Structure 1
Amino acid sequence: MSEATRVKNTGLRGVTVADSAISFIDGEKGVLIYRGYRIEDLADHSSFMETAFLLLFGTLPTGEQLEGFTGQVKGMRQVPPYVLESMRHWPKDARPMDVLQASVPLLAMAEQHSDTMDRDVCLQRSIGLLAQMPTLVAAWHRIRTGQPVLEPDPDLDHAANFLWMLQGKKPDAATAHDLDVCLILHADHTFNASTFAAREVVSTRASLYAGVAAGLGALSGSLHGGANAKVMEMLLKLENEPDVEGWVKKQLSEGDRIMGMGHAIYKTGDPRAVYLKKMGQRLGEKTGGKWASISQRIEQTALAIFAERGKTTILPNVDFNSAPVYYLMGIPTDLMTPVFAVSRVAGWCAHIIEEQFADAQGKPALYRPQAQYVGEYCGLMGCEYSPVNKRE
């Protein structure tokens, strides 16, 4: 096939694959909306529990509904004992995202599966995953570090309970609130790679658990959710670097990337990054951490270089600013992406349910994109097969 007739490989960017009523992005204006509500309003006034309800059920809850939903989540935080027992036999140096992805099918084994699709059953399983994801992340960290796994505390809200199970001490109200806002900011982001993976898998009528496991696999990559850990590794590398600006200039002059800079969609700024940047500066002042200062120096130098090159749309993204925030909260670097998943599971489940019940009959449209074949071609009859003893 000639180069003129080949279709450019764009990774499906700009290609509409389905309708969705869950979230919306205007990359030119820097707008992110969940179910009609701007992320700024949710971050300022909502809670992660309320936002998760909005994503799953399509509307903001009444006070009674929110109380009932929060109670359900708190009541489902425990994971089956066999899951924790299984974890104790896993290599202690296993990557946390691999552990998390392996744990979700174990949760599925405790459920009675059926080929009959039922929205209410999917919603209940979604609430269960929302409740258990923090428990899985915290339990693995405790197990791998030789500490006892802690019971969930029903008196603590979602974010505070996670920090308690992870660190063994109850966080102050300000830190718990900051993490709750982080969870809101990460809860959904339209058809990103992990959400697309989750929807594609369940379009085959696979289970909700299979879809979430697929989402976790996609999120683990360094070009997606794994980018926040890479940003923190960069910051730690520069902890004692006297010439941060010189390091940035050298990186860019040699054609290397600055992790956390640039986004596939946002061209005028990521609205989530604005909140996280302020949060990082505040936490840095509170704890004496230098990460916000280092981040600022990297950002200013990189943006000046990009401007000189006419690349004014390369800006800090959510990973660039979330990494120091999580670090200052005492969250280990390799748990930053799992914390991302603790939030994003709300969006994945909302998308999975939307995909599974795309019409009144609950018939998902099986995803089946085409590929441009660029391999050997010997005509419609195919290449001539020669026996192995006659091949040179």
Structure 2
Amino acid sequence: MRETVRLKNTGLRGVTVADSAISFIDGEKGILIYRGYRIEDLVAYSTFMETSYLLLFGTLPTPEQLDSFTQQVKAMRTLPGHVIDSMRLWPKNARPMDILQASVPLLSMTKDREEGDEPDRRICLECSIGLIARLPSLVAVWHRIRTGQPILEPDPNLDHAANFLWMLQGKKPDTATAGDLDICLILHADHTFNASTFAAREVVSTRASLYAGVSAALGALSGNLHGGANTKVMEMLIKLENEPDIEQWVAGQLRRGDRLMGMGHAIYKTGDPRVAFLKTMGKRLEKQTVTKWAAISERIEKAALALFAEQGKTTILPNVDFASAPVYHLMGIPTDLMTPVFAISRVAGWCAHIIEEQFADAQGKPALYRPQAQYVGEYCGPMGCEYVPMKTR
């Protein structure tokens, strides 16, 4: 019998698998950079359209380039008729992330430019612009269908974030709220080799289409340990809205070994730089309502950090999901649409990574991902086990 030392499942954390020029994280210093630019500067000076251009093309656009890019996005917001017809047939209680993932292959059936067997950078960029344009429409149209409301046409006079809120809610958002959502989209646009981005890159390394890569990324994002966490955070806040002793509830969660959604991050050890912007945004939005999400969140955070400190776990801090959930809620976005809103933003990063993966070298030949597993199953020698026929078992 052979001796097998079992490997620890680390989820590939700390394992470098490819070069990338798209984004960078310094988890010890709390730094996030897109294409060389600090997230703080992009939030202060950029827009989601400009940030999307930066991620896809690698440089900041000129005014003319940004205008052309924005007009391309606006022109592609309308969904093909067969997509809407299909959505009308789907169960109204289906999970929105499942709807979104199922819709992307439908878009691939009527691409504006047909992808060939060999990847073409120009066509991939055009398809990317189409997905950035249409994912918000998919989310909004599905919500209108499932709630029995008339579908609204995109408004070419509205920018990306404002148009999504219009198509979703049926009313034009105020400038401040639309601006806040645009910042949220910038903050979520890319985050190096997270689970969904890695899924997209792995899939297209087989020379599958950009649409296949984005569909795979959506599947990965839907999980509660990735994009689905913001929904779970909001469910937790709603549950605790009338809880008199939040601190005791937090202590009970941690004592039982249950996960406290929105706390901790695989990379950031001294703080997620996106959280501060979202907290400020949440407090500003809350002034317009009578809710108390900021206060509840603050009590959860303080209680959790105190207990973590007692255990010596000083690197477990609030993450972007903890801070973004109440912001989306205050914008009137339904809880189960919070992860799809994450996808509306992250699709820009996914497409940038897919294109980078497809054209990893001058010949456009991606390295097929093929990791190796250590076999720990039955072992009867190098020739395998003896097969015993059914009648003699």
TM-score of the superposed pair, with normalisation by structure 2: 0.98
How far off is 1:288 after superposition? Answer: 2.3
Q: What does the per-residue CA deviation read over 1:62-100, in whole Å, with 9 as the maximum and x for residues that have no partner? A: 111111110110011011011001000000000000000
2:262–2:319 Cα contact (<8 Å) kept: yes
The residue type paired with residue 55 of structure 2 is L
| 1:363 corresponding residue in structure 2 | 365
Query: In the alignment, which of 264, 284, 287 is matched to residue 285 of structure 1?
Result: 287
Q: What does the per-residue CA deviation read over 1:261-283, in whole Å, with 9 as the maximum and x for residues that have no partner? A: 00000000000111111111111
The question of 1:110 aligning with 2:102 is answered no
Between 1:112-121 and 1:168-177, the stretch displaced more is 112-121
Between 1:375-384 and 1:109-118, the stretch displaced more is 109-118
| 1:85 corresponding residue in structure 2 | 85
Residues in 1 aligned to 2:289 and 2:243: alpha-carbon distance in whole angstroms? 20
How far off is 1:2 after superposition? Answer: 3.5
The question of 1:337 aligning with 2:339 is answered yes
| 1:224 corresponding residue in structure 2 | 226
Structure 1 alignment gaps of length 5 or more: none
Residues in 2 aligned to 1:320 and 1:338: alpha-carbon distance in whole angstroms? 16
The question of 1:76 aligning with 2:76 is answered yes
Structure 2 alignment gaps of length 5 or more: none
For residues 132-171 of structure 1, what are the structure 2 equivalents within 5 Å? 132-171=134-173
Residues in 2 aligned to 1:342 and 1:109: alpha-carbon distance in whole angstroms? 20
2:22–2:352 Cα contact (<8 Å) kept: yes
| 2:64 corresponding residue in structure 1 | 64
| 1:263 corresponding residue in structure 2 | 265
Q: What does the per-residue CA deviation read over 1:95-140, in whole Å, with 9 as the maximum and x for residues that have no partner? A: 0000000000000000223113210000000000000000000000
| 1:252 corresponding residue in structure 2 | 254
Q: What does the per-residue CA deviation read over 1:115-172, in whole Å, with 9 as the maximum and x for residues that have no partner? A: 1321000000000000000000000000000001100000000000000000000000
Between the aligned residues of both structures, percent identity stands at 78
Residues in 2 aligned to 1:261 and 1:128: alpha-carbon distance in whole angstroms? 34
How far off is 1:7 after superposition? Answer: 2.9
The alignment partner of 1:88 has SS state of helix
How far off is 1:325 after superposition? Answer: 0.3
The question of 1:47 aligning with 2:51 is answered no
The alignment partner of 1:375 has SS state of coil
Q: What does the per-residue CA deviation read over 1:288-330, in whole Å, with 9 as the maximum and x for residues that have no partner? A: 2211110000001100111111100000000000000000000
Residues in 2 aligned to 1:22 and 1:361: alpha-carbon distance in whole angstroms? 20
| 1:22 corresponding residue in structure 2 | 22
For residues 135-214 of structure 1, what are the structure 2 equivalents within 5 Å? 135-214=137-216
Between 1:194-203 and 1:277-286, the stretch displaced more is 277-286
Residues in 1 aligned to 2:291 and 2:333: alpha-carbon distance in whole angstroms? 14
Give the aligned length: 390
Residues in 2 aligned to 1:135 and 1:37: alpha-carbon distance in whole angstroms? 29
Residues in 1 aligned to 2:381 and 2:387: alpha-carbon distance in whole angstroms? 13
The alignment partner of 1:33 has SS state of strand
Residues in 2 aligned to 1:118 and 1:370: alpha-carbon distance in whole angstroms? 30
The alignment partner of 2:287 has SS state of helix
| 1:10 corresponding residue in structure 2 | 10
Between 1:252-261 and 1:205-214, the stretch displaced more is 252-261
Residues in 2 aligned to 1:199 and 1:252: alpha-carbon distance in whole angstroms? 35
The question of 1:96 aligning with 2:96 is answered yes
The question of 1:119 aligning with 2:145 is answered no
The residue type paired with residue 133 of structure 1 is L
Between 1:288-297 and 1:119-128, the stretch displaced more is 288-297
The question of 1:273 aligning with 2:281 is answered no
The alignment partner of 2:288 has SS state of helix
2:115–2:123 Cα contact (<8 Å) kept: no
Between 1:339-348 and 1:274-283, the stretch displaced more is 274-283
Aligned CA-pair RMSD: 0.8
